[in-house]
Structure 1
Amino acid sequence: MALTQMQIIQSLGEAMSWFEREITWGVPPTELRHLIGRIGELYAALITNGQMASEVNQQGYDVVSADGERVSVKTTAMMGASGHIAFNPNTLQFVDRVIVLKVNTEEMQIETLLNEETDKAKTFMRESSGNSGKLIISLSRLLNTNKLKKDVSTVNTVHKAPYTIKELENGTIEVYKGANHITPAKPILREVAEQLNLSILNSNGNPFNTRQLGSLIIRTLKAK
């Protein structure tokens, strides 16, 4: 039975809440692969106005878009630029579009690293150096490509020696020490919050994500 768009939205919200709860409890993302995969498929169905594939392990693809495109969805929670996404070359012939997503565990949001027709997506792929016969896309290439595409303005800048904290127009929080961009930002933000006597927990007792904590710090420093 096909899910309605509302049911997809509800399922995605529940899956994200479950994922955030597990991460808060200290469960590493590597132990949540099935949940991460489900989140990615639901999100891809949502943004394509489509449906999950009708059969479990449908050959090569996971979602069918509203336009009838067969979509292969790959989802990762790796935060660095190392690692890669693997594809089976024998099933790519059944795929019309490739979507690669990242669940950002700091922001608790889903980021699109690649959304291209299969022929274009193949230009990002190379053969694995092992004997697996897989085609792979390195995360560093996707992250660098997306970085080049973005020209996001800074809307807020505050200073708390020795750090500079910036809020971009898309809500991203960046922390610098001199000219050095520090990642991840959350440990520094927690350090600054402690100096400002700010709680790092929200009203439900859960830790603020990077954007929430960064925005709180910026508002506090601007008010001083």
Structure 2
Amino acid sequence: MSLSQTQIIRSLGEALQWFEKELAWGAQIAELRHLTGRIGELYTAMITRGQMAKAVNQVGYDVVSAEGEKISVKTITSSTHVSFNASTLQHATRVMILQIEVEENEPSIRELFNCTIEELRPLLRESNGSLRLLMNHRSVALARTSSYPIEDLKEVAGSTWKHLRVIQLENGTILVKEGEQTLPQALPVLREIARDIGVDVLNAMSNPKNTRTLGSDIIKALG
């Protein structure tokens, strides 16, 4: 069954929220591989306007883009290398490697690597029966042949407070804009708005809400 773009976006948001909860409960990122992998696949399906591969444990790739590219998605947190199965790599036409970074318990998704399988192969090295890509500056620079700038993402929600507009993009990112200018630091402004309109800046566990959560709550409160 195919998922609509709205369903993919919602699923990504839910996965990120669960990831944040696990971190707040004290889980280590290394213990959340099941979540990070799913987040990476959903993010890739979203930005390529594609679909998750339909078969469970689909051989060689995870997402099929709107253009029909079969994408192998790897999601890392702190790894210095990524391994590929030499016997199934030929089933994919493109590879995307994403990194989930966490700052103040708030995850963000960074695209490290995006290239065709043909462009990838010269960068791979054999190691213990698999193909390994070292995530160094040289390999990343060579493979970032395609990217999806944040400006290309759609706005899915937004509200206005005084002269500012708080918007949510389809990947969950919250921006605060003054006219056409995006403010460099959203969270301090969001906290000011929250105090003004009566939105709690703490979550249910009495921890400060991160940018994504606070921004979403503000948008809902402002209508």
Q: Same fold (TM over 0.5)?
A: yes
- Where do 1:1-224 residues align within 5 Å? 1-78=1-78, 83-106=80-103, 107-128=106-127, 131=128, 133-141=129-137, 145=141, 171=184, 202-204=201-203, 205-207=206-208
CA RMSD after TM alignment: 3.0
In 2: Cα distance, 1:104 partner to 1:72 partner:
20
Deviation at 1:88, TM superposition (A): 0.6
Deviation at 1:24, TM superposition (A): 1.5
Secondary structure, counterpart of 1:108 in structure 2: strand
In 2: Cα distance, 1:144 partner to 1:47 partner:
19
CA contact (8 A) 1:40 1:75 kept: yes
The verdict on how the C-alpha distance between 1:135 and 1:207 changes in structure 2, with shifts beyond 3 A counting, is farther
Counterpart AA for 2:207: N
Q: Which residue of 2 is the match for residue 195 of structure 1?
A: none
CA contact (8 A) 1:113 1:142 kept: no
CA contact (8 A) 1:40 1:73 kept: yes
The verdict on how the C-alpha distance between 1:203 and 1:101 changes in structure 2, with shifts beyond 3 A counting, is same
Deviation at 1:208, TM superposition (A): 5.9
The verdict on how the C-alpha distance between 1:207 and 1:127 changes in structure 2, with shifts beyond 3 A counting, is farther
CA contact (8 A) 1:113 1:143 kept: no
In 1: Cα distance, 2:183 partner to 2:15 partner:
24
In 2: Cα distance, 1:36 partner to 1:44 partner:
12
CA contact (8 A) 1:114 1:142 kept: no
In 1: Cα distance, 2:66 partner to 2:50 partner:
5
Secondary structure, counterpart of 1:58 in structure 2: coil
Secondary structure, counterpart of 1:89 in structure 2: coil
Q: Which residue of 2 is the match for residue 164 of structure 1?
A: none
5+ unaligned residues in a row in structure 1: which ranges? 150-168, 173-200, 212-224
In 1: Cα distance, 2:86 partner to 2:12 partner:
29
The verdict on how the C-alpha distance between 1:62 and 1:202 changes in structure 2, with shifts beyond 3 A counting, is same
In 1: Cα distance, 2:67 partner to 2:48 partner:
8
In 2: Cα distance, 1:98 partner to 1:20 partner:
26
Deviation at 1:7, TM superposition (A): 0.2
Deviation at 1:140, TM superposition (A): 2.7
In 2: Cα distance, 1:59 partner to 1:75 partner:
17
Deviation at 1:65, TM superposition (A): 0.5
Percent of pairs with identical residues? 50
5+ unaligned residues in a row in structure 2: which ranges? 146-181, 186-199, 213-223
In 1: Cα distance, 2:207 partner to 2:136 partner:
31
CA contact (8 A) 1:97 1:116 kept: yes
Q: Which residue of 2 is the match for residue 190 of structure 1?
A: none
In 2: Cα distance, 1:142 partner to 1:105 partner:
24
Deviation at 1:207, TM superposition (A): 4.1
TM-score (norm. length: structure 2): 0.63
